[in-house]
Amino acid sequence: MKKRVLILLFALCSMLSALGCSFPRVIVLKDPLTPEEHLNLGVTYEQQGDFDNAIKQYKLAAKNLPRANLYLGNAHFQKKEWKEAEGFYREAIELEPDNADAHNNLAWLYYTRKENLDQAERLAQKALELNPAKGDIYRDTLEKIREMKKGSGR
């Protein structure tokens, strides 16, 4: 209930401000959204192609939700911000070593960049070991990396 009141109050203030009305500013001392709600909001922004707002929401979620680092990596990957994506994938792996998607996505980043292919292969293999249920996805990453390595004579 409190959350709805705050959201409605914020919306009302925004509308009145747009009309030129002035009144005291409302300061929210406690974030009305849970980390999961920030994560879901970020996913919505990302699906709309609004990666900057997605990143803002994922950063808020990441304060208390380690898996949000995977989402941060994915959003930066979409923006072709390779170093940032790599850093967040590494952070996701460090905070959640059993996160198979983080291993696979970092492997895919290296494959995309045609770099660190030995490490990419190890990461994809680890993803496959961690979550055999997603074997088709992770095997595809692993096979593509191996094909690239073979083609480059490595």
Backbone φ and ψ for 140, nearest 5 degrees, come out as -60, -45
Domain coordinates in residue numbering, the chain: 1-29
pLDDT tens profile 85-139: 999 999 999 999 999 999 999 999 999 999 999 999 999 999 999 999 999 999 9
Q: Cα dihedral sign for 83, 88, 91, 93?
A: negative
d(CA 22, CA 15): 11
pLDDT tens profile 1-29: 666 655 665 565 666 566 666 655 666 56
Q: State the pLDDT confidence band at 44, using cuts at 50, 70 and 90.
A: very high
What CA–CA distances, in Å, run from 74 to 35, 62, 116, 152? Answer: 17, 13, 19, 27
